[in-house]
Amino acid sequence: MRRIAFGMAIFAASVARMQAAASSPTPTWARDVAPILMNNCVECHRPGQVAPFSLLAYRDSAKRARFLAKTVAERTMPPWSPDGPVGAFVGERRLTDAEIAVIDRWAEAGAPAGDLSQAPEPPPALGDGWRLGTPDLVVRMRHPFTLPAGPDDAYEVFPMPFTLDGVPADVIARARIPGTDLLSVAAVEIRAGNRKVLHHADVFIDTSGEARKREAAGGGNGYSSFGTPGFVPSAYLGGRVPGTTPRFLPDGIASGVMPMSGDIALQVHYHATVKAETDQSEVGIYLMREPANRMMDALFLRSFKLDIPAGTAAFTVDDSIVVPADCILMSVFPHMHLLGREVHASAQLPDGSTRPLIDISRWSFPWQDHYFYREPFILPKGTVVRCRWVFDNSEANPSNPFSPPRDVRFGPNATDEMCGLLLGVIPVSLDDVQVLADARLRKMKERVDELTPEQRSRFQWQDAFEGMGGRN
């Protein structure tokens, strides 16, 4: 009887949904679909942005109506990887069930236009194609770089001298940290010159001149360096991976600091293709407009113990870290390559309770992001953060770069593997900034010890941490 009652309940609910759909008007692009696209899709799907086609106009959307209905039903678009915690993150790109149903019914009805004069206006275009608007300072690679045809990826560092001559004096004055020659940075955006080959990039500051020396020794247009930029940076300003959304932090919080002179060193991971490609990327820097009360800092989890046998569908790796001081957790950034399947992170608090940080059960290599919490929260000193990464090196993994599968290890290529979790934190006490720096260095030394001597030499990490103040 229970099964019959349950079946009748499902049948009744289905009938109710069909009756509701039949009684509601047929969706049109202008009235029903365009508002969904303008609010959720056209940030990327517009000219000059990362998506391969625009959805600003009816004709562009209508010819892809079936495709749109399929991708939103599968929840592959809008791209959003985390399963949870639901509602925890800023800028969640999730369509509601009702919005998905509207797009499906619109496509089934033949994608009617409706009264196009009543369609909502597209959101304004971003300044010069920059997603955060026009930067205060733009620094470009001095020369185009030619990436040879595959199979090997390349890690290149490009020193780029910068000047503040074009930055208004009042902007510099507001960003300047009193009593110093440092500027507080609100955000950094990396604009890829060639999206086909730029896998990820990081922005460092070099005040030692070491990056330029290494460039000159290598021939004058960047130099190769994997893992570290090849020098001890005076500052790290941010990075870009596939799917990253650049964003500003809450008022009063700087993403980093930079000196008023020196070189910006852009470290780029290029993913090789079947033909030679050229890139000339640029970095946009946005300075703070108000005094910086706090600055983003970081802790990380990772492992280099990646030796994934061919055919293994659930190879797991774990790591943990003890938070060394009271911190505010602002964001999390998980990272894997093409064999990635799942990532799960949680925090065990000193009172014994456990708080989930992020869960992704369908990893998407092209869509990785720094996930910022809507309501940042305290990780007390002594909290243990744990992360588990799961890899699928079987034939059933559609992202597996090898067919048949091969053994895959840690390495620099996109077809090698990596795993990491970056915690974006703010120390509650400014006195603990050095405590976090020491914890990062200890952690990295522990992980480098996992590498073989051959790997450390090949990746040029054998002396990577010399000169960092002698800290252990």
Residue-wise pLDDT for 435-464, tens only, equals: 998 998 899 888 888 888 887 777 766 554
SS3 state at 266: strand
Lowest mean pLDDT across 44-58, 126-140, 177-191, 452-466: 452-466
CA distances from 39 to 24, 56, 94, 99 (A): 22, 11, 11, 11
Q: In the prediction, which pLDDT does 34 show?
A: 96
CA distances from 449 to 63, 266, 304, 308, 452 (A): 55, 27, 9, 19, 8
Residue 20 in contact with residue 6, Cβ under 8 Å?
A: no
Give me the amino acid identity at 27: P
Mean pLDDT of the chain: 88
CA pair distance 51, 46, nearest whole angstrom: 7
- DSSP run (H or E) holding 32: none
Report residue 244's pLDDT band, with 50, 70 and 90 as the boundaries: confident
CA distances from 117 to 35, 114, 419 (A): 13, 9, 50
β-sheet bridge partners, residue 262: none
CA pair distance 56, 53, nearest whole angstrom: 9
Q: Which residues contact 472 (CB under 8 A, 6 or more apart)?
A: 441, 442, 445
440: which 2 tokens?
């990062």
Q: In the prediction, which pLDDT does 20 show?
A: 45
Report residue 19's pLDDT band, with 50, 70 and 90 as the boundaries: very low
Lowest mean pLDDT across 328-332, 356-360, 461-465: 461-465
Report residue 290's pLDDT band, with 50, 70 and 90 as the boundaries: confident
Instruction: Supply angle C-alpha 175, 181, 185, rounded to 5.
Output: 35
CA pair distance 24, 45, nearest whole angstrom: 29
Over residues 245-263, the mean pLDDT reads: 90
Q: In the prediction, which pLDDT does 46 show?
A: 86
Over residues 290-319, the mean pLDDT reads: 93
Over residues 152-165, the mean pLDDT reads: 92
CA pair distance 416, 185, nearest whole angstrom: 33
Does residue 127 carry a pLDDT above 60? no
Q: In the prediction, which pLDDT does 348 show?
A: 98
Does residue 16 carry a pLDDT above 80? no
Does residue 124 carry a pLDDT above 70? yes
DSSP 219-254: TSS-EE-SSS-SS--SEEEEEE-TT----PPSTTEE
User: pLDDT tens digits for 267-283?
Assistant: 999 988 889 999 999 99
